């Protein structure tokens, strides 16, 4: 491919990252892993970026792993196969490690590890024509990319087991009914809805929002005591920050808080 595998577009303080391999319905590849991780790491350091949207070109979010490539894995050693899977897992971790909110805008297929990638995001905007599936079983494989962990956060063990053992398709409307989707959009409108949601996250206090993201990620996995300890540690830091100084002063002075002025100047394009 001569074009970039991940297209980058800025819309004000929002960075839109588009998986650009429509011929394969945006199947996953090592090139995509590297490009997405690099883009997320750069966005994390850019104070002009408030939120990130991840979407797919050509009407599909991501069809998951390329089965033609997966068929060749049997010729590799177990260590080499593990290395390939770890490249996927590093990409999933990079989405969650990014301090900025990452919003998935899903149209069409989000299959296998493509579903994992969507569910790894902090928020999910899904078109009614979106179809999720963990259909590994249909090709003699088991889930990866955190699929079972992400599904377990959203539905019962029984329903997750059904979906994984049957490989059945799950509509965007179904996921919305389970509370796993932030916004349900008409076909072709997922990105527009995601941009609206990202705008609500723009102009906010970056340090506080990064702390909130970290808390939300850990909440399903920690005891109440451990979660409160994490909350306390982050609140102690926040109370001494310039962000809280500005936010509290703005509230008391009955004016909008201006968190943007606290950020480092940037020379990047808006």
Give the structural domain span for 130.
6-200
**Are 140 and 211 found together in one domain?**
no
| pLDDT tens by residue, 57-95 | 999 999 999 888 888 899 999 999 999 999 999 999 999
Report how many domains make up the chain: 2
270 within domain boundaries: no
**Are 124 and 21 found together in one domain?**
yes
Asked whether the predicted pLDDT for residue 243 surpasses 50, the reply is yes
1 within domain boundaries: no
Tell which residue, 162, 186, 160, 47, has the closest CA to residue 105. 186
CATH code for position 108: 3.90.226.10
Structure tokens at 123: 């928020």
| pLDDT tens by residue, 148-194 | 999 999 999 999 999 999 999 999 999 999 999 999 999 999 999 99
pLDDT band at 2 (very low <50, low <70, confident <90, very high): very low
Tell which residue, 244, 243, 212, 242, has the closest CA to residue 227. 212
Mean residue pLDDT of the chain comes to 95
Structure tokens at 239: 């109370």
65 within domain boundaries: yes
| pLDDT tens by residue, 97-131 | 999 999 999 999 999 999 999 999 999 999 999 99
Final residue of a structural domain among 152, 172, 200? 200
């Amino acid at each position: 491919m001569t074009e970039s595998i991940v297209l980058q577009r800025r819309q004000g303080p929002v960075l839109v990252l588009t998986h650009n391999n429509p011929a394969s319905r945006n199947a996953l590849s090592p090139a995509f892993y590297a490009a997405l991780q690099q883009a997320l790491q750069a966005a994390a350091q850019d104070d002009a970026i408030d939120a990130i949207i991840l979407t797919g070109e050509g009407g599909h979010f991501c069809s998951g792993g390329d089965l033609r490539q997966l068929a060749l894995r049997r010729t590799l050693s177990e260590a080499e196969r593990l290395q390939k899977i770890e490249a996927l897992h590093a990409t999933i971790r990079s989405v969650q490690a990014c301090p900025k909110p990452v919003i998935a805008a899903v149209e069409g297929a989000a299959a296998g590890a493509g579903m994992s990638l969507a569910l790894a995001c902090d928020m999910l905007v899904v078109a009614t024509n979106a179809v999720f599936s963990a259909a590994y079983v249909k090709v003699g494989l088991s889930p990866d990319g955190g699929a079972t962990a992400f599904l377990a956060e959203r539905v019962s063990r029984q329903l997750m087991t059904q979906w994984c053992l049957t490989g059945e398709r799950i509509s965007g409307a179904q996921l919305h009914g389970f509370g796993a989707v932030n916004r349900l959009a008409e076909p072709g409108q997922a990105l527009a809805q995601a941009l609206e949601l990202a705008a609500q996250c723009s102009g906010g206090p970056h340090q506080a929002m990064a702390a909130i993201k970290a808390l939300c990620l850990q909440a399903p996995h920690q005891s109440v005591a451990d979660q409160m300890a994490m909350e306390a540690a982050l609140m102690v830091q926040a109370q001494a920050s310039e962000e809280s100084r500005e936010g509290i002063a703005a509230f008391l002075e009955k004016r909008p808080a201006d968190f943007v002025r606290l950020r480092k100047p940037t020379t990047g394009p808006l």
